[in-house]
Chains A and B, each alone.
Chain A
């Protein structure tokens, strides 16, 4: 073994390459990445999906699927230990002890069959060999540290009894159990609501300064980077294209890709249609209740009020933005308006009450009201070609003969910015953004009057989000469409909606013109939501959950 010079940095990665082998040949996921992390500093790895940022982070702890993945070159040194190709024993001493990691999805990262106490104790037993009593004391201390309410009661709780934010706190407590020198956080807040995201970020920052640990933050969200990081590495296609201090990067981005990324935030203003345009879709006191059944006879003992007496009106050419946290009933409201979900209360489409219409009678109206879903991977039938997917509605409503239909499909594809030849290909051949364009074309080809957009940009990369928002606005202007735009991302809502409804627990908390809501929110909950979403500020308020 050669004696290596002492490492001045906490972690130094040099020329790291990661290849994935398959029978079709090797794929280069990471192509020579170098960076250092000093003690106590926060380094952010930023990039879009597929840029290799997660693979880089996972290779630090050697957690990739070896031998399918391998490193043709590079070195990863933690203090004076070379981690690349280290034996299992060395790695086990580092993993969860000196370097800890938290993942994106707190639901799948915790074992659903173990209590919180058992999960946290495990790391303590493994690395510190504490007795049961001592471990319990330490676990309580950790849970208090991460701000979990009522830690004594939560010890025996199971992951499903906690909310997403609370689970992420438990994950952080597990990671901190052995006071690591480096914490790797892989998209720690992506799966959480904005208000909770702000709380978790504040917690991470607080803990970092208290323990003096270094933080490697992997994220696609530039807002999070600006709030948290000291230095930033921008990754694109397996390479670090720019490395800079966070202030420099945001003021003077040097690399073209960074500039593109920075300018990719959804911008622009909503259209300005006349206020007295005709109402296309409206509902009065709309209710969707799910019965809670108990006992032997399954009697209904109560209701979960997913949508609880909501009034909504969307005018021609207008966009009504519906914002709120997950579970606030936004999506259910959209589905109920389209009569895709049973509900109570009047639903007026073009002035006619369509509540209670039989599916057959409703079928004729279906072409005039359409929906675009959040997940472009789940909303396209995987076994139909793009042409079949888009043309399906035309066939159902008997519009045109096969030749005319083909021309209409081609025109719809062109309208959403895809080549007409795309109609002979299958959905899996397209990227997320292109698939979302296909989903929009499917809705558009029927020439609807009203479209529900259910988080159409949430599953997409930032730069693609901006393009989709521009596309949606163009289409609206061209066809004078009415949109119900459901989103938790307030920046996107601001760029598209003329009117905003804030929902919480099935009720509308506040509604009004977009500008008024953003500049002068009247309700405490709206203020908390805005602060969290736009400035990533955690707000201590009874209106916000933990």
Chain B
């Protein structure tokens, strides 16, 4: 680890709020990755007649447990439960509902208010809100991460080409991006979403069409600056090709700007998906999504637990990401990093640098 990296890590940790947000977010994300083990309508493990069964991984027909149908077992059926419990036992996840499990035993018409069974109540189709939140959080974050990764790769590549070659390439590309960014994104997405049946990957592709431009300007500026630096010239004099120079010599410097922007792009991606879901043009019907929950909250004002839950989960998730983004920005802030680096430098070179900086100001 270079001293610079160490310094940056220390800066990241020094931002207490961002550092804790990072850990909280990480824990939440990993917990939600295992959503099937936390909220599911199938038991985690069954012992039946001295055999172990893993319903989360495998589908067993009801006949396995002495039932009558050849179809997959409905473990929530009291009859099936009695069958299994009579000759063995089973362990349920803490929340015995999946995101699409409909609770038919509600004492009141759906949406049902919070109760011991449904901790945050049910939505207007009788599905458990907590289960849908866990799955919805996972899909939002995964979607955001994948979209951020793809738009960063495309954006960095486009920015690098523009900045490095400059001139006419840069001019044409810039005008194209300006026109492209002038398109009314949301309307186009709505139109496109009504032409194809939106799935996770379709939506990702559609959003990617418009989100890759976010990083182009930053990376382009870095490349424009670096292409005239002496070490780039030196690499040219060594006979290095353009791609080598871009990847090996210039890109590492542009990565700082890219990494600084990334948490904010992630936030934007999640918000866009939520907005589309809220309008009903997002993920296919029935998918667990925070936007859909918000829409339900709007349609069922008499059931405030729906709107409030969606609001708080979104607000907390986005705030955590923003705090992390701030900490990342601090970590890469050259004024912070370099100032501390130079004062930590032995000898008086540091003092001279500081004095020169002061004098220049």
A423 to B127, CA, bound (A): 63
Query: Which stretch, A46-54, A284-292, A344-352, A497-505, touches the partner chain B?
Result: A46-54
* Number of residues of chain A lying within 8 A (CB) of chain B: 60
Number of A-B contacts (CB under 8 A): 136
| A363, B347: Cβ atoms closer than 8 Å | no
Enumerate B204-247 residues with CB–CB distance to A below 8 Å. 229-231, 233-241, 244
The residue on A at minimum CB distance from B347 is: A50
Q: Please, which residues of chain A bring their CB within 8 A of the CB of B237? A: 338, 340, 366, 369-371
**B144-161 vs A, Cβ < 8 Å mask (1 yes, 0 no):** 000000000000000000
**B347-361 vs A, Cβ < 8 Å mask (1 yes, 0 no):** 111111011111110
Q: Give chain B nearest CB distance to A527 CB in angstroms.
A: 33
Q: Please, which residues of chain A bring their CB within 8 A of the CB of B354? A: 20, 64-65, 68-69
Main SS of the interface on chain B? helix
Q: Please, which residues of chain B bring their CB within 8 A of the CB of A20? A: 343, 350-351, 354
Whether A22 sits at the interface, judged by CB under 8 Å, is: yes
Q: Please, which residues of chain A bring their CB within 8 A of the CB of B340? A: 22-23
Q: Please, which residues of chain B bring their CB within 8 A of the CB of A18? A: 351
Q: Please, which residues of chain A bring their CB within 8 A of the CB of B234? A: 371, 373, 379-380, 439, 442
Q: Please, which residues of chain B bring their CB within 8 A of the CB of A335? A: 233
With A58-B358, A371-B234, A380-B231 known as contacts, the answer to whether A24 contacts B351 (CB < 8 A) is no
Q: Please, which residues of chain A bring their CB within 8 A of the CB of B344? A: 22-24
| A103, B359: Cβ atoms closer than 8 Å | yes
Whether A67 sits at the interface, judged by CB under 8 Å, is: no
| A27, B359: Cβ atoms closer than 8 Å | no
| B239, A363: Cβ atoms closer than 8 Å | yes
| B349, A50: Cβ atoms closer than 8 Å | yes
Q: Please, which residues of chain B bring their CB within 8 A of the CB of A468? A: none
Q: Please, which residues of chain A bring their CB within 8 A of the CB of B249? A: 381, 384
Whether B2 sits at the interface, judged by CB under 8 Å, is: yes
Enumerate A368-399 residues with CB–CB distance to B below 8 Å. 369-371, 373-375, 378-384, 392-393, 396-397
With A55-B348, A383-B253 known as contacts, the answer to whether A24 contacts B343 (CB < 8 A) is yes
| B358, A51: Cβ atoms closer than 8 Å | no
A30 to B352, CA, bound (A): 10
Whether B94 sits at the interface, judged by CB under 8 Å, is: no
Q: Give chain A nearest CB distance to B19 CB in angstroms.
A: 17
Whether B346 sits at the interface, judged by CB under 8 Å, is: yes
- Pick from A108, A364, A380, A382 the residue with the most CB of B within 10 Å: A382
With A29-B351, A237-B348 known as contacts, the answer to whether A373 contacts B230 (CB < 8 A) is yes
Q: Please, which residues of chain B bring their CB within 8 A of the CB of A24? A: 343-344
Whether A537 sits at the interface, judged by CB under 8 Å, is: no
| Of A23, A238, A367, A379, the contact of B239 (CB 8 Å cutoff) | A367
A49 to B353, CA, bound (A): 10
* Number of residues of chain B lying within 8 A (CB) of chain A: 37
Whether B87 sits at the interface, judged by CB under 8 Å, is: no
| B238, A27: Cβ atoms closer than 8 Å | no
A97 to B238, CA, bound (A): 54
Whether B248 sits at the interface, judged by CB under 8 Å, is: yes
**A10-46 vs B, Cβ < 8 Å mask (1 yes, 0 no):** 0000000010111110011110000000000000000
Q: Please, which residues of chain A bring their CB within 8 A of the CB of B230? A: 373-375, 378-379
Whether B88 sits at the interface, judged by CB under 8 Å, is: no
| A340, B349: Cβ atoms closer than 8 Å | no
The residue on A at minimum CB distance from B237 is: A371
Q: Please, which residues of chain A bring their CB within 8 A of the CB of B358? A: 58, 63-65
With A58-B358, A381-B249, A384-B248 known as contacts, the answer to whether A397 contacts B350 (CB < 8 A) is no
The residue on B at minimum CB distance from A103 is: B359
**B322-361 vs A, Cβ < 8 Å mask (1 yes, 0 no):** 0000000000000000001001111111111011111110
| B235, A340: Cβ atoms closer than 8 Å | no
Whether B252 sits at the interface, judged by CB under 8 Å, is: yes
Q: Give chain A nearest CB distance to B153 CB in angstroms.
A: 20
A339 to B355, CA, bound (A): 40
A16 to B317, CA, bound (A): 55
| A27, B343: Cβ atoms closer than 8 Å | yes
Q: Give chain A nearest CB distance to B282 CB in angstroms.
A: 41
The residue on A at minimum CB distance from B358 is: A65
| A27, B239: Cβ atoms closer than 8 Å | no
**A417-436 vs B, Cβ < 8 Å mask (1 yes, 0 no):** 00000000010100000000
Whether A143 sits at the interface, judged by CB under 8 Å, is: no
Q: Give chain B nearest CB distance to A145 CB in angstroms.
A: 25
| Of A58, A375, A392, the contact of B355 (CB 8 Å cutoff) | A58
A450 to B237, CA, bound (A): 12
Provide a sorted-by-A list of 22 A–B residue pairs whose CB atoms are within 8 angstroms: A20-B350, A24-B344, A27-B346, A27-B347, A50-B351, A51-B348, A54-B356, A54-B359, A58-B358, A65-B354, A65-B357, A65-B358, A69-B351, A338-B237, A340-B233, A340-B236, A371-B234, A371-B237, A375-B230, A379-B231, A380-B231, A446-B238
Closest 4 CB pairs of A and B: A22-B343, A366-B239, A29-B351, A379-B230
Which A residues contact B (CB, under 8 angstroms)? 18, 20-24, 27-30, 49-52, 54-55, 58, 63-65, 68-69, 103-105, 108-109, 186, 237-238, 335, 338, 340, 362-364, 366-367, 369-371, 373-375, 378-384, 392-393, 396-397, 426, 428, 439, 442, 446
20 new A-B contacts, CB < 8 A, other than A27-B343, A63-B359, A393-B239, are A20-B351, A22-B344, A27-B346, A49-B349, A58-B359, A64-B354, A64-B355, A64-B358, A103-B359, A238-B348, A366-B239, A369-B237, A371-B237, A378-B229, A378-B231, A379-B234, A380-B234, A392-B238, A442-B238, A446-B238
